[in-house]
Structure 1
């Protein structure tokens, strides 16, 4: 770590001899830091490490700001951050690369993981994981929506948008798009962590992120995750979300020329017929539809 050329060049050009000695002490301190959990994404690991630095626990304070040293308190934080970033980035990037699967718009994809767990990806979704030693370190990252059928074994983790989902052996659906999160359990138990909140949910329960808090409620098993069969059910869903689903499933672009920000949709559509799906969503709301190729205008 001390011989890292990039850091050494910066130190040689910018710091005095006294400050270099101070940074050497910081380096020794950072080398004793524990490496973040391997199952976390780079962003989560770095965020956790920065939070620990900024929290300034008493033992760290003695190192970062020794008694009698007040000249450059910023130096300790900057040096520690730079060195820790190099350590974290290097650790998380070593070894085997991630294996990534993507279901494009209009497609579904089923993946059999190395432990024989299966994942079905909805359209516009991406799954990544490391194949090496997967049965001992069962973690995947998800962007989008997927249904998981997990084999029993070591703890299985799904890292999503500001979320951390942990199971042992179960089946569940995860919707993780933009700032939205919804986890629905079909069998077993699932622990959901997001934005400092944590809940454990069981069969026929779902956890949904609402205004930064995880809310738990019951759901209908027969109307959830039916996207795997091409059927989509909605209950008071923001119309914008329904439109995004229509675009993903039919590979179309929908331009809405009316104000729909506060409108919600309860109903159903099937992927088997685009014209019928558009009518089922928009006609009951008094909106007209014009289609030309993959362009749809709603007003």
Structure 2
């Protein structure tokens, strides 16, 4: 026959069999334990020394020579509460932190070491607060600009490639199957499909074209941070996708070759000017259907 303590421990470990679960539900304070567990999951619990607290409780019991069942009934729920608190704190301490943006939104986040990440629209970063100083790893979906504080190795991982730095400013983009890294300051190492490239200021790595140098490199940050998307010889479908992200709408392209290359830019805060910027150079007609839909055509 499994003891009360064993049932509670297995419940906390989510390891109850069907028979054990039925036995656990028959405990006198089953309702209080489950209610407490649900409540504790909704609060942040500060660090708690469960060993010290348990030792203190046990010492108090010994000093008073408490041997009755009533004291056991008092001590066990307290112990269960401490175990729950410890479990929740341990879980939350290992949780990953997620920062994400939606369409037409940008966001700046400061990391635990003072590094800065600026997220473009429809982007997401994922990192662990625990041991951040010694393990500066970030997972990225979308596009972000990084200002990295000096310290241990800093790694940005995407589904397509990885960027490693020691202290620099760079932009990483992973969209529509294209992986691009642009170095603004310092140097970065890019790992892509088993090969590595070291980028210096003004250099761009693209999964489509490889390593290149921007001879007109002037800016210290990506233009999207200042409210403008800029492209150089990019397929038109790429421009459409970025336009949709920045204005949170849908573009329907009729009779348009979306593989044709586009060089130019569009602002993020003026829809009419932005439309003119991406259509006039290619002699494309644009019609705003409603606040969420735009029609592009070649006629």
Of the candidates 252, 265, 270, which is equivalent to residue 268 of structure 1? 265
The residue that corresponds to 1:239 in the other structure is: 236
Higher Cα Rg: structure 1 or 2?
2
TM-score, length of structure 1 as denominator length: 0.65
Q: Higher mean Cα deviation, 230-239 or 111-120?
A: 230-239
Distance 1:297 1:152 in 2: 48
How much has 1:150 moved relative to structure 2? 0.2
On the 8 A contact 1:290/1:297 being kept in 2, the answer is yes
Pair 1:288 & 2:285 matched: yes
Cα deviation code 1:252-273 (max 9, x no counterpart): 1000012323311111211120
Query: SS of 1:282's equivalent?
Result: helix
- TM-score, normalisation: structure 2: 0.65
Aligned residues: 205
Quick one: distance in 2 between partners of 1:258 and 1:122?
30
Are the counterparts in 2 of residues 161 and 177 from structure 1 also a CA contact under 8 Å? Answer: no
CA deviations on 1:42-79 (whole Å, 9 max, x unpaired) are xxxxxxxxxxxxxxxxxxxxxxxxxxxxxxxxxxxxxx
Is the Cα–Cα contact under 8 Å of residues 201 and 216 in structure 1 kept in the other structure?
A: no
CA contact (8 A) 2:121 2:246 kept: yes
* Structure-to-structure mapping, 1:194-233, within 5 angstroms: 194-210=192-208, 214-218=210-214, 220-222=217-219, 225-233=222-230
| CA RMSD between the two structures | 1.9
Q: What's 1:108 paired with?
A: 106
Per mean C-alpha deviation after superposition, the further-off stretch among 120-129 and 251-260 is: 251-260
What is the aligned counterpart of 2:132 among 130, 134, 145?
134
Alignment of 1:151-230 (within 5 A): 151-210=149-208, 214-218=210-214, 220-222=217-219, 225-230=222-227
Gaps of 5+ in 2: 1-90
Displacement of 1:200 in angstroms is: 0.6
Cα distance change of structure 1 residues 181 and 221 upon mapping to structure 2, 3 Å threshold: farther
Inter-CA distance 113–200: structure 2 relative to 1 (3 Å threshold)? same
